[in-house]
Amino acid sequence: MILPTGGGKSLVYQLPSIIKDGVSIVISPLIALMQDQVASLKAQGIKAEMISSAQSADDVEEILYQLRMKNLKFLYLSPEKLNTQWTYNLLKSLDINFFVIDEAHCISQWGHEFREDYRALGNLKANFPDAAICAFTATSTNNVTQDIVRELRLENPLLLKGKVFRKNIYISAERRLTNGQAQLKNFLKRHENESGIIYVSSRKKAEDLSAHLNMSGYKSLAYHAGLPSHVREQNFKIFVNDNVDIMVATIAFGMGIDKSDIRFVVHMSLPKTQENYYQEIGRAGRDGEDSETLLLFNSQDMIMQKQFLKDIPDLDYANHLSQKIDGIYKYATSEICFHKQLAEYFEDTLDECVDRCDNCASSDDLRQDITKEAQMVLSCVYKTAQNFGKNYIIDILRGSSEQKLLANGADKLSVYEIGKHLSKKEWFVIIERLMETKIINLGDFSSLKLTDDAISILKSQKTIDIKSSRLQVKSKEKRVKRSDDFDYDETLFEALRVKRSELASEMGVPAYIIFGDKTLKHLANDKPFDKPSMLEVNGVGEKKFEQFGEEFLSIINS
């Protein structure tokens, strides 16, 4: 099953397991993810446990006893723990109804989070030929899907694929100015006292930005692989329990953030791939409420990421990753609907979203004709034999006195200095527009190459324009339209949040496991006064009412 983050993958395997006899074995890549899901199931009165390096010998012995007594419905294992003879011997003694492979894209070397231990999951079919295997992921292209099926040795499996589009997520992207902190703070004004994740590219940037935000009056923590495991775990718990609003993190803060009320996700630089990006922005708005994402980027991000590819010995794999980096950069710079681009990347179809991304909802629809500037670029590329990249071409157009240019005789060309009227940044945007419309392609060593369409532009048989806003390299304020705003009593909502936090602390579980923000907003709007009226509220069932109903009703009625 391929279904966006928050789309209900867990329910798809949890409900059948409760109905069927036997225990379900769930393979999951992260201890934090397993702990979260086990805690969630236990909070709902469902018996689940995990075996990992986080358990003591006594804990494991107790779990084994519960398994022998057939008291458990779910057993969570990491792939590393599964791939041992001890675990195989244990599993062969159990009544297993089916195996669940979570985050299944980790199996594929063509995916974005390949894990070697996941490859060994292909042994499940050999060792348990009669047990069904179910694989789940939010991100899978056709190549990755075929790889998953092949590696797990599935025979003619049922493939279920949901739509990529998440209407409740508004997608923003801006060219990063200096370090992007002014743009970030402008964005955060729209999300006061809301939970969010800010992704950065290094451990140092995580520490520095978190410290800067805290000095600026925000409540944030840093999260990266360089922190001791107990500090990472502590920071994770502080965040999911709503004791800080913002987590500033590297991609180490990845899969398994099962916090439903994350209202925003920011990338301070370009992600490695569209798979990474789609999965990371998917951590916002799992409760279905409106959420917003912001991608800050510039061309230097792409150059830096490609530097790391030089250390990869497998050239085919390095080229594959290089193409993915090119893809996410084109995504960020394009004028095409962001949701539509993501859908097409994952072989889905989608019309423009109309008002759920910057490219569609921009109030500035003014177009600027750049045919003349395009002809300058194309002439320069032609006169330098299509052997050079963006920077070199721009330097010629702006009349640079760089020694390399002068040594090559660039100052003798007719195109030398004809583009002084535009800044370097503006020329970069124009060249990106030419690449986006396939008038220019990238050749070897990032040299610019002319296409057939370039000839039509040079002969003035075609024109090209650009959104005026793309040539304005300054931050702008905007109001994001919500998809389904409704009025609710904000004072009551805050009082219900306080009660939820108290109960979560007493139970030792994340706050959203009790009720999500969406349910609290409906409670603050509908104001139920007794059990029947509270059971009418979206998100409140018999079990939740039995556990928490009276305490929340007392606040509403007071």
Tell me if 12 sits within 8 A of 288, measured CB to CB. Answer: no
Hey, CA dihedral for 432, 433, 437, 438, is it positive or negative?
A: negative
Specify the pLDDT at position 484: 54
What CATH code would you report for 490-557? 1.10.150.80
Whole-number Å distance between alpha carbons of 361 and 355: 4
Whole-number Å distance between alpha carbons of 224 and 176: 23
Whole-number Å distance between alpha carbons of 87 and 24: 14
Whole-number Å distance between alpha carbons of 209 and 180: 11
How do residues 462-480 score in pLDDT, each as one tens digit? Answer: 999 887 777 765 444 455 6
Regions in the chain scoring below 70 on pLDDT: 109-115, 254-257, 363-365, 472-486
Q: Cβ atoms within 10 A of the Cβ of 312, count?
A: 14
Residues forming beta bridges with residue 50, ordered by sequence position: 76
Tell me if 26 sits within 8 A of 307, measured CB to CB. Answer: no
Whole-number Å distance between alpha carbons of 186 and 289: 22
Residues forming beta bridges with residue 26, ordered by sequence position: 76, 100
Crossing angle between the packed helical segments 338-345 and 315-333, to the nearest 10 degrees: 160
Question: If you write DSSP's letter for every residue of 280-328 in order, what string do you get?
Answer: HHTTS-TTSS-EEEEEEE-HHHHHHHHHHGGG-S-HHHHHHHHHHHHHH
Whole-number Å distance between alpha carbons of 370 and 388: 22
Tell the burial category of 528 from Cβ atoms under 10 Å away from its Cβ (0-12, 13-18, 19+): buried
Phi, psi angles (nearest 5°) of residue 137: -155, 160
210, 213, 225, 234, 249 from 207: Cα distances, Å: 5, 10, 12, 16, 9
Q: Write the class of the CATH domain 169-361.
A: alpha beta
Specify the pLDDT at position 112: 53
Tell me if 175 sits within 8 A of 197, measured CB to CB. Answer: no
Amino acid making up residue 194: E
Give me 83's structure tokens: 């791939």
Crossing angle between the packed helical segments 229-240 and 31-43, to the nearest 10 degrees: 40
Tokens 């920077």 belong to 391
CATH ID of 367-471, from 1.10.10.10, 1.10.760.10, 1.10.357.140, 3.40.1410.10: 1.10.10.10
Q: Where are the domains of the chain?
A: 9-151, 169-361, 367-471, 490-557
Give me 150's structure tokens: 């092949």
Q: Write the class of the CATH domain 9-151.
A: alpha beta
Report DSSP state, residue 245. S
**477: nearest Cα among 188, 170, 192, 186:** 186
**135: nearest Cα among 275, 279, 255, 1:** 1
Tell me if 213 sits within 8 A of 314, measured CB to CB. Answer: no
Specify the pLDDT at position 199: 96
Tokens 């589009």 belong to 165
**77: nearest Cα among 130, 23, 18:** 23
Amino acid making up residue 289: E
Q: Do domains 367-471 and 490-557 have the same CATH topology?
A: no
12, 54, 429 from 339: Cα distances, Å: 25, 39, 21
Q: What is the CA radius of gyration of the chain?
A: 27
**97: nearest Cα among 1, 18, 9, 11:** 18
**547: nearest Cα among 45, 21, 13:** 45
How do residues 201-239 score in pLDDT, each as one tens digit? Answer: 999 999 999 999 999 999 999 999 889 988 988 898 899
